[in-house]
Amino acid sequence: MDRLLATADAALRTLFADPRPARPSPGVEPSELDAAQKRLAGALMRVNHVGEVCAQALYTAQAAATRSPALRAHFEAASRDETDHLAWTRQRLDELGERPSLLNPLWYAGAFALGLVAGKLGDRVSLGFVAETEQQVGAHLRSHLQRLPAEDAASRAVVAQMEKDELQHAAEARAAGGIDLPAPVKALMRGAARIMTTTAHYV
């Protein structure tokens, strides 16, 4: 029952509360952007915010599914880093005058279900899922660094730190025993992520 309540609390905090970061945002003083630059930066940061909503769901589900206290602590520690990302991206959205995705509850539910399935398949599979997810997220963030306006130093600083953290999470998951997922599973994950990122760009 305690774990169930903690899981519900995590979902409510992610979707409806203002996240409180443990680390200050790496973003520098926001620059003046024109309307087109703001729209592009806002759309990209909305996508990144959705990614952090999904990360909270994944780690919460995987922490709930594992029977290993050590692995649960691993997922909870990674989730705290992702809470920083959630707060930073939300702050940047506010600064750009943009809103989060209207479909965040749907994204959270889908990611939670995936995390629960991965967790039920065993700890090594669960860690492998984390490693592949974070590797793909890192590549996605690198693409955003290429697409963000050069003038938007604030967003670029946030995304650069997020990329560094995500790749660290991937390395830690592999070091903890995560397996390399089969190629068809990786391709399916990339396809699902493409649908999410394309939709969240606008909605």
25 DSSP assignment = -
For residue range 48-57, list pLDDT tens digits in order: 999 999 999 9
Query: How many C-alpha atoms does 4 have within 13 Å on its Cβ side?
Result: 1
Please compute the mean of the pLDDT values over residues 10-19 and round it to a whole number: 86
Q: Selecting from 1.20.1260.10, 3.40.50.300, 1.20.1630.10, 3.40.50.2300, what CATH number does the domain 2-15+33-200 have?
A: 1.20.1260.10
Please say if the pLDDT value at position 5 is more than 80: no
Q: Where are the domains of the chain?
A: 2-15+33-200
Neighbours of 146 (CB within 10 A): 6
Q: Can you spell out the DSSP letters for 81-99?
A: HHHHHHHHHHHHHHHHT--
For residue range 112-169, list pLDDT tens digits in order: 999 999 999 999 999 999 999 999 999 999 999 999 999 999 999 999 999 999 999 9
Please say if the pLDDT value at position 1 is more than 70: no
31 vs 83: which has the higher pLDDT: 83
Mean per-residue pLDDT over the chain, rounded: 93
- Please, where are the H alpha helices in 121-182? 123-147, 153-175
Please compute the mean of the pLDDT values over residues 36-63 and round it to a whole number: 96
pTM, to two decimals: 0.93
| Longest pairwise C-alpha distance within the chain | 51
Please say if the pLDDT value at position 110 is more than 80: yes
Please compute the mean of the pLDDT values over residues 177-187 and round it to a whole number: 95
Give me the pLDDT at residue 123, please. 94
